[in-house]
Amino acid sequence: MDAPPDKGEDVGAFTRIDAHLVSLGLSAPQIIAADTSNGFLLLEDLGDDLYARVIPATPSLETPLYAAATDVLALLQANAPATALPPYGAREMVDAVSPATDWYAFAITGARSGLAALQAPLADLLAKVDTEPPVMILRDYHAENLLWLPQRQGVARVGLLDFQMAMLSSPAVDLVSLLQDARRDVSPAVEEAMILRFVALTGREETAFRMAYAVVGAQRHLRILGIFARLSLHFGKPDYVDLIPRVWRDLQRDLAHPALASLARAVETLLPKPTAEILQRIRDQCGTIPTP
């Protein structure tokens, strides 16, 4: 790892969180050598078998791989979190959906408006589900950041990457990230089985957790809609537009939960459905929109 301090980077968070994960018996890469003052780490090579490669190549492994990844989350949440993690609570989650209007809706309507009307019902919902103590989340817990290590045992079979942005948040956050992946389809049967597995492993009340899962999922998809639009509009990365329909589909699934009716109405009013015409409009503006 090369994270030069003179460019504002810091390996401190990575080393601290890595040590915590390893102490729990999880397969974060071992740090072989470190020069923290210059931002250099020599890390264990966990291989190339990303979930995102293994599952398409061997579809029969989808269930056992996702089961192992779900077990990692249950273990992580059963233990005290690493120290000095920043919060990702209701306030931060409400703030984080601003790209949905500032970038996604803006690309279609030309106006940056409606954020408050989107945030208000979301804030109400997050207040209702934000009733448990926060847990450690790895935040980007999905198939592109998980490696399959079948030669190891139990939860150690899941190699962990890109966890330096770990935070304290809802127990549902990482499970949503895993099962409602913006970059690949997870089969509905596997998603359902893993929700039930997580509930059983953690002892959570199923009805309340399913509501939290839907609320956190909707929040995540609103944020990602805006981020993917911004990556295209501002940074000239049109490939992200191709991912928007999947994000929208998962958003609609979460909004179908009866408790999310008010947020569903706000989304219907403020955010146009990404039709083929709208997606092309976003592509046509690729790399042309400055930061407001």
For residue 137, the SS3 value is strand
Are 81 and 226 within one domain?
yes
- CATH number of the domain to which 65 belongs: 3.90.1200.10
pLDDT digits (tens, 9 = 90+) for 51-93: 999 999 999 999 999 999 999 999 999 999 999 999 999 999 9
The predicted pLDDT at position 208 comes to 97
Are 25 and 96 within one domain?
no
- Would you say residue 241 lies in a domain? yes
Q: What token pair was written down for 147?
A: 């490696």
- 277 vs 290: CA distance, rounded Å: 23
- Would you say residue 155 lies in a domain? yes
pLDDT digits (tens, 9 = 90+) for 162-200: 999 999 999 999 999 999 999 999 999 999 999 999 999
pLDDT digits (tens, 9 = 90+) for 134-161: 999 999 999 999 999 999 999 999 999 9
- Would you say residue 101 lies in a domain? yes
pLDDT digits (tens, 9 = 90+) for 231-282: 999 999 999 999 999 999 999 999 999 999 999 999 999 999 999 999 999 9
- CATH number of the domain to which 35 belongs: 3.30.200.20
Are 209 and 96 within one domain?
yes
Are 172 and 65 within one domain?
yes
Query: Considering only CA atoms, which of 169, 166, 168, 120 is closest in space to residue 145?
Result: 166
Give the residue numbers spanning the domain of 218: 47-284
Please give the tally of structural domains in the chain: 2
Are 38 and 146 within one domain?
no
Are 214 and 263 within one domain?
yes
């219907």: which residue's tokens?
Answer: 268
1 pLDDT more than 90: no
Range 38-45 average pLDDT = 81
Are 31 and 135 within one domain?
no
Tell me the one-letter amino acid at 228.
Answer: F
On whether the CB atoms of residues 158 and 72 are closer than 8 A, the answer is yes
Are 61 and 39 within one domain?
no
- Would you say residue 275 lies in a domain? yes
For the ranges 12-26, 87-101, 265-279, which has the lowest average pLDDT? 12-26
The predicted pLDDT at position 41 comes to 83
Output the average pLDDT for the chain. 94
- Would you say residue 291 lies in a domain? no
Higher pLDDT, 8 or 27: 27
pTM: 0.94
H or E stretch covering 226: helix 206-233
- Would you say residue 290 lies in a domain? no
Query: Considering only CA atoms, which of 89, 245, 97, 226 is closest in space to residue 171?
Result: 89
- Would you say residue 257 lies in a domain? yes
